[in-house]
A and B are shown apart, each in its own frame.
Chain A
Amino acid sequence: MTTVYEKSKMLTDAPMSYCPGCTHGIIHKLVAESISELGVEGRTVGVAPVGCSVMAYNFFACDMVQAPHGRAPAVATGLARALPEGVIFTYQGDGDLAAIGTAETVHAASRGENIVIIFVNNAIYGMTGGQMAPTTLPGQVTQTSPYGRDVKTAGYPIRICEMLATLDGTAYAERVSVNSVPNIRKAKKAIKKAFENQIAGRGFSIVEVLSTCPTNWGLTPVEALKWLEENMTPYYPLGVYKDITAEEGK
């Protein structure tokens, strides 16, 4: 018998605290597998956010630091400056990264900080029970946009990859999705590339991962995959927004 697929050794035995069918767990696997395949577990330090993935420090088998809400890129900056040989990543949700932590995110990118950001965009605040996020779609119903997000009063969603791609400090920005097996394979490639960039000292890499929140979207896990495909990807197109290695190759 040959093993085709098994749980990554970069994940601990702690059962994931996410709701059934939440795709956070898939993204955790891709991060863990990438780090493991690159053989850098021993020098990796991850930064957990505030939000559903606050307890990511229990799931990754590398050293971890838990950051205040939105401050993960600043904490990662401190780690990266103190550990020149370290492989530093943050794992953040949309409220953490694109609302309360926008300044920390933008400036870490503009400094070209040599870190990886895994940005999980599920268009809602999950942990607090489904409030409007900076990435909530126009018209989307949440607890705090009960009549649907009205852009006249609540403004428009933020497209993080597009925004960060305009900064000179950003080395790599790609948006991927984990709503199907082919997309998961592409997401894995992107995440691994982000870590390769960091190991090579290329600077700031962000991978935005479109993710589901079946519980707060009020859908079954399988319906949520479809909702993501039909509603999120038109507003948040998948693809590479910046890649300095591709530009160098030209």
Chain B
Amino acid sequence: MAERILMKGNEAIAEAAIRAGCRHFFGYPITPQTEVSAYLAKRMPKVGGCFLQAESEVAAINMVLGAAAAGVRVMTSSSSPGISLKSEGISYIIGSDLPCVILNIQRGGPGLGGIQPSQADYNQATKAPGHGDAHVMVFAPSTVQEMVTCIFDMFDLSEQYRVPAMLLGDGLLGQMMEPVEFPDVKVTPAEKPWAANGHQNKREHNVVNSLYLQPDQLEAKNIERFERYAQIQANETRAEAFETEDCDVLVVAYGASSRIARSAVMNARAQGLKVGLLRPITLWPFPKKELLKASKTAKDILVVEMSMGQMVDDVKLALECKKPVHFFGHTGGIIPTPAEVLEQLKTIAGGAAK
């Protein structure tokens, strides 16, 4: 392990990408993720890489498409309104089965919304990152260190499954400073026999494409892609359970709000309440079996998000509405406090005890 250094979340992500073998970055400035671009603008030329500030998010994601088609590790970064602009390209990247890493350091919405931390793009990221039957793998780390380890895994998994990977962070995680260590691993990018990188007169010409005019071919392609999605759902779900073994109330929260929820759970435990926390690390695939396990003893579930309530629907679906699922949240920059969450827990636990 290398030395421990204090880094801002956005800069740690950028450094992690370089160490994970990413030498191509295309982006467009938007608050609160601009440090990713600024850091890479400085670092990429030093490692022989390419940093390019595109004319728009639309162009940036299509540059990602081109570089991914050529077979290199490539990343782009944006925040909520910029991800909406990128969604066209994301759909084409999915439809072309290309690997890449996309960062969404979320801010409040809809529209121009605000520039403060938010988790209101959960549905966009997990349900409809672009048009069509389409998914990206969604990772939601909760610390700067975890952002770093996620980035390494995201490049690998994205290549393994030929499905883009999105890091769903927020302004809070992007802007906070924490100590971080970079794993000392040898990066081995996957073989890419499908890449459009020039056939050198040695093979048939490769085509990277998402157009299938024959309906049976299009359906066959979608079915094949969903078989990969099923493998991802079977093998790649991640979540962290905290104090869940005997809990009466289970809190479910991810990313920045899970940090607040964790404090509330600790405070509740100190006051004798049996509460636990399940923190999904992958949002798609949603960690259903981890949730079922963590909620075994729970009579009530509380979902905490920085939105009007989005992941809460997946929690209800996973539990098949067999247990009451409560929601507490704030939007666009108003961070829920541990005290507020504790209040909710007390109310629910009081009800659960009755």
Contact = CB atoms under 8 A, between A and B. Distances in A.
Q: Do chains A and B touch in the complex (CB under 8 A)?
A: yes
Contacts of B66: 47, 65, 67, 74-82
B124 interface: no
A168 interface: no
Contacts, number: 142
A54 interface: yes
A64 interface: yes
Contact of B69 (A42, A62, A65): A65
B62 interface: yes
10 contacts: A43-B198, A48-B209, A55-B211, A63-B206, A64-B209, A65-B65, A66-B209, A75-B65, A85-B198, A107-B54
A140 interface: no
Contact of A78 (B69, B88, B207): B69
A204 interface: no
Contacts of B89: 68, 71
Given A62-B205, A63-B205, A78-B63, A104 B55 contact: yes
Given A66-B210, A68-B65, A75-B69, 19 more contacts: A42-B198, A43-B200, A55-B211, A66-B207, A66-B211, A67-B92, A74-B63, A75-B62, A78-B24, A78-B26, A78-B63, A78-B74, A81-B24, A82-B72, A83-B197, A86-B70, A103-B56, A103-B59, A106-B55
For chain B, give the interface size range.
Answer: 35 or more
Contacts of B62: 67-68, 71, 74-75, 78, 104
B301 interface: no
A211 B199 CA distance: 30
B63 A77 contact: yes
Contact of B71 (A41, A57, A82, A87): A82
A173 interface: no
B70 A45 contact: yes
Most buried by B among A12, A44, A67, A103: A67
A40 B341 CA distance: 64
A61 interface: yes
A193 B30 CA distance: 40
Given A63-B198, A78-B63, A103-B56, A54 B211 contact: yes
B196 A64 contact: yes
B82 to A, nearest CB: 15
A57 B213 CA distance: 14
B198 A44 contact: yes
Nearest to A106: B55
B201 A57 contact: no
A107 B54 CA distance: 8
A81 B52 contact: yes
Contact of A82 (B56, B60, B67, B206): B67
Contacts of B65: 65, 67-68, 71, 74-75, 78
A77 B24 CA distance: 11
Given A82-B71, A86-B70, A74 B58 contact: yes
B208 interface: yes
Nearest to B92: A68
B200 A42 contact: yes
B209 A65 contact: yes
A74 B198 contact: no
Contacts of B199: 41-42, 62-63
